[in-house]
Amino acid sequence: MSAEFLTTIAGVILSLLFSYIPGLNTWFAALESLHKRLIMLGLLFISALGFMALSCWGFLADLSGIQIPCDRQGLIGLVQMFIMAVIANQSTYAISEPTNAVVDAKKAVSGQADLSNGRG
């Protein structure tokens, strides 16, 4: 198992959490698209940084045998891990079926936007 694979898994898990955890999924669905993207990018970056920090402190090697160098090469790896996590996250989001609660939350938000614009 590699660090890139671990961050890819983290990207998939984050997408599934925000898609299917009751309460969290409806809160997230009600946000504007830009805010959703920024939140997800931030969480993915934090997870990649977390794997890097765990490796630099030696915990990642102890837990999984994965060693990320704590130098310039490691930073390049961090960028690669982040990109792979984003790809996995967005792919999972694209293929996951929204729950009824998420569909209703999106309808409610779009209905409020229509009413506030005088189109309701």
**Domain boundaries, given as residue ranges, for the chain:** 3-116
What confidence tens digit (pLDDT) does each residue in 35-83 have? 999 999 999 999 888 888 888 888 877 777 777 788 898 889 889 889 9
SS3 track for 34-95:
HHHHHHHHHHHHHHHHHHHHHHHCCHHHHHHCCCCCCCHHHHHHHHHHHHHHHHHHHHHHHH
What confidence tens digit (pLDDT) does each residue in 97-110 have? 888 888 888 888 77
